Amino acid sequence: MFDLPEIPYLLTLLVVLPLIGAIITLFMGNERAKYAKYTAATMSGITLILTFFLLLAKNLSVYSENYAWIESAGLKMSYILQIDGLSILMVFLTALLVFLVTIFSSHQEDKPNYFFALLLAMEVGLMGVYMSADYFLFYIMWEVTLIPMYFMISWFGGPRRHYAAIKFFIYTHVASLVMLIGIFAIAIQAAAGGVVDFSFAAVAIGASAFSSTFQIFVFGLLFFGFAVKMPIVPFHTWLPDAHTEAPTAGSVLLAAVMLKMGSYGIIRVCLEVLPDGAVWWQPAMVVIAIVAILYGAYACIAQKDLKKMVAFSSISHMGMVLLGIACLSEVGVEFAIFLMFAHGLITAVLFMTCGLAHDLFETREIPLLGGLAGKVPIYAAFMMFGFMASLGLPGLVGFWGEFGIIFAFYEYSFSINMIWLIIFCLMSLMLTAGYYLWAMQRSLFGKLTDKIETAHLRDINKSEAFALVIVCGLIALFGLWPDLALGYISDYTSSLVTLGVVI
């Protein structure tokens, strides 16, 4: 397409720029605090522009950085950043959403310097997770994402923020501990008595010698670590609490990018390194995924808080992602990755609009709302767009993810002679449509509510509309032209086929 020059140290820049931004913003206290948003927007904006160099690059493999970090007698940890078809969309999503969320929250009044510094700090961790090609670096970055999110919730959250923040922290922390054990296990086993090298490449070489029993056991450990992050039923209860209490910006990043760390990890580590383990765990994964899909969808129907409903819908959709992965087929993994990306865009709209409900109406309780479409038409239009995208309306991005995954699952269920399994997936499509339409009916349509003060409601302001328009535009663009994203993904998934990981 376009001939963009190669930028040296591009991947490092993607991590370092937000870090510099975070540090600068952090020290913009007192009267300079009102300029914090400009710093944050600039730094995240530059980061976003840089990701376009990646997206339009002809060959992603030229962007690879490899430096030894800690090297001693028995251990080798390196600073390796790499990018491929799996990570590039996640990197783009991170850069995009951090930038948009910064714009979206430009009216942040309370301690804006801390607020924006935390957003940028989160970007550092997320970029690191998605680009690192060394297990130890991966783990460190994984932990780095936790801390800013913890403070985001506990400083800027709702009334039960302390409870939600600590629950989020402890829960995911315990999970990462288990994951860490798994990482040590594969690194040490791969070294086979030699120097324990944590780099992806070294482990991949050693992984061919892993015994099945070892794979099955370690797959379980790692899967647990990642499943909590995704989150998968029954390890999900931290999520609705964290979402309800987190500020809008935090919720958007949490749902759109952070949850994907879990599914990213499952594909990157569990599938790539432990294919035999994956095969052994396949039936279990399928069952867990189906339970998560239906459980999340049903829980949505019962929710009264808009944001909590959307949080449960994330659980349902991430269950769909897991189902795609669990098919262990090229189609399944390809569309699971596509749905990760699609869901990132869609939940951004959902959490922006549902988070705004609190700013506009001072409540998110559905029973207190009603008939608001006449009062705040633009807000209502965005919310409806988000809901429609999320329920999988064809022509929008979410449909393709679900279409591909259910197709892959159909192939799988056909191969094991249990076509009827597909009914559960189809049921979830009905339920999803049900809870979204019901929520819209009760909050936007019907009689104008008299339970809240509606005389002086404001509609969406310009900076909020800007962020929403861009995400909605991308949802439509990738919905009409899914190949834009599938092009990157299929390169990666075909490499998985070559590895013999999926069929």
Partner 1 sequence: MFIEYTWLIPVIPLLCFLIVGFLGNKTPQGGGYIAITGAAIATVLAVLVSCEFWTSAAYSDVGYVTQQITWFTLPGGFTLHFGYYIDSLACLTMLFASFIAMLIFVYSLGYMHDEGVRKRRYFGEVSLFLTGMLGLAVSSNFLEMFIFWEIMGLCSYLLIGFWSFNHPDGDAASENAASAAKKAFLVTRLGDVCLMAGLFVLLFAFKTLDYADMFTEEALAAVDPNMIILGSLLIFGGVIGKSAQFPLLDWLPDAMAGPTTVSALIHAATMVKAGVYLTARCFPLFTQCSWILLWVAIIGGVTAFFAATMALNNMNIKKVLAYSTLSQLGYMFLALGAGGYMIALGLEQGNEALIVAGSAGYTAGLLHMVNHAFFKALLFLGSGSVIHSCGTEDMRKMGGLGKKMKITSITMLIGSLSISGFPFFAGFWSKDLIIESVMHASDFGEQTLFLILWFLAIVTAFMTAFYMFRMWFMTFQGVEGVNAHHTHGESPKSMVVPLCILSIFAAGLGFVILFGFDNLISIGENAAGNLQVGSGEGKGFEYITEIFGNVYTWMTIVLVLMAMGIAYLMYSKKTMNPGKFNKNGESRLYHALTMRWWFPQLYDQIAWKLGYGVARGVDFVDKNIIDGTVNGISNAVIGGGEILSKAQTGNVRSYTTVVFGGVVVFFCVILGIFWYMGGL
| Segment contacting partner 1 by CB under 8 A, of 89-97, 358-366, 463-471, 480-488 | 480-488
Binding residue for partner 1, selected from 4, 29, 74, 205, defined by CB under 8 A: 74
Among 12, 282, 454, 490, binds partner 1 (CB under 8 A): 490
Residues from 238 through 267 that contact partner 1 (CB under 8 A) = 238
Closest distance to partner 1 from the beta carbon of 484 (Å): 9
* Contact positions with partner 1 (CB under 8 A) in 81-140: none
Interacting residue with partner 1 among 1, 58, 59, 73 (CB under 8 A): 73
Q: Which window, 99-107, 209-217, 354-362, 368-376, contacts partner 1 (CB under 8 A)?
A: 368-376
Nearer to partner 1, 119 or 232 (CB): 232
Between CA 91 and CA 141 the distance in angstroms is 14
Number of residues that bind partner 1 (CB under 8 A): 76
Of 4, 378, 418, 448, the one binding partner 1 (CB under 8 A) is 448
* Nearest distance in Å: CB 225, partner 1: 14
User: Of the listed pieces 19-27, 73-81, 214-222, 249-257, which binds partner 1 according to CB under 8 A?
Assistant: 73-81
* Measured distance between the N- and C-terminal CA atoms of the chain, rounded to whole angstroms: 31
Scanning residues 277 to 306, which ones bind partner 1 (CB under 8 A)?
A: 295, 298-303
Q: Which is nearer to partner 1, 12 or 442 (CB)?
A: 442
Q: Which of residues 382-441 bind partner 1 (CB under 8 A)?
A: 388, 393-395, 403-404, 406-407, 410-411, 414, 422, 426, 429-431, 433-434, 437-438, 440-441
Angle at 292 between CA 289 and CA 293, to 5 degrees: 85
Minimum CB distance to partner 1 smaller for 6 or for 450: 450
- Phi/psi at 66 (nearest 5 deg)? -145, 110
Phi, psi of 261 (to 5 degrees): -55, -35
User: Residue 395 Cβ, how far from partner 1 at the closest point, in Å?
Assistant: 5
User: Which residue from 287, 161, 269, 159 is spatially nearest to 222, judged by alpha carbons?
Assistant: 269
DSSP summary character for residue 449: P
Question: How many CA atoms does the CB half-sphere of 226 hold within 13 Å?
Answer: 27
Q: Taking the complex as a whole, how short is the minimal distance between the CB of residue 467 and partner 1, in angstroms? A: 19
Minimum CB–partner distance for residue 126 and partner 1 (Å): 19
Report in angstroms how near the CB of residue 194 gets to partner 1 at its nearest.
12
Sheet holding 75-81, edge to edge: 65-71, 75-81, 196-197
Which amino acid type is present at position 294? Answer: L
Given a contact cutoff of 8 angstroms between Cβ atoms, the answer to whether 175 and 221 are in contact is no
Q: Which stretch binds partner 1 (CB under 8 A): 1-9, 41-49, 339-347, 482-490?
A: 482-490
475: which 2 tokens?
A: 């949802």
> What is the distance between the alpha carbons of residues 326 and 291, in angstroms, rounded to a whole number?
13
E strand intervals along 65-198: 65-71, 75-81, 196-197
3-state secondary structure of 365: strand
Residues 144-173 binding partner 1 (CB under 8 A) are: 147, 150, 160, 162-163, 165-167, 169-171, 173
Q: Are 36 and 73 in contact (CB under 8 A)?
A: no
CA gap 10, 247 in Å, rounded: 31
Closer to partner 1 by Cβ: residue 252 or 486: 486
Q: How far apart are CA 199 and CA 208, in angstroms?
A: 15
CB of 162 to partner 1, least distance (A): 5
Nearest approach in angstroms of CB 10 to partner 1 is 28
Closest to partner 1 by CB, 368 vs 429, is: 429
Cα 180–186–191 angle (5° rounding)?
A: 125
How would you classify the pairing of strands 65-71 and 75-81? antiparallel
In the bound state with partner 1, the residue whose beta carbon lies nearer, of 119 and 388, is: 388
- Cis check: omega of the bond before 482, within 30 degrees of 0: no
Give me 69's structure tokens.
Answer: 């970090």
Nearer Cβ to partner 1, position 368 or 393?
A: 393
Subset of residues 311 to 340 that bind partner 1, contact rule: CB under 8 A: 329-331, 334
333: nearest Cα among 255, 275, 391? 275
Shortest Cβ 96–partner 1 spacing (Å): 22
Q: What are the C-alpha distances in Å from 481 to residues 342, 385, 475, 476, 487?
A: 12, 18, 10, 8, 11
Minimum CB–partner distance for residue 313 and partner 1 (Å): 13
Q: Which of residues 177-236 bind partner 1 (CB under 8 A)?
A: 177, 180, 184, 188, 196, 233-234, 236
473 forms part of the interface with partner 1 (CB under 8 A)? no
For residues 236 and 260, which CB has a smaller minimum distance to partner 1 in the complex?
A: 236
Q: Interface residues for partner 1 in 30-69 (CB under 8 A)?
A: none
From the CB of 437, what's the least distance to partner 1, in Å? 5
| Minimum CB distance to partner 1, residue 302 (Å) | 4
DSSP tag of 134: B
Output 447-454 pairs: Cβ under 8 A, ≥24 positions apart: 447/370, 447/371, 448/370, 448/371, 448/372, 448/374, 448/375, 449/368, 449/369, 449/370, 449/371, 449/372, 451/367, 451/368, 451/370, 452/361, 452/362, 452/363, 452/368, 452/369, 454/372, 454/375
What is the CA 238 to chain-centroid distance, rounded?
Answer: 15
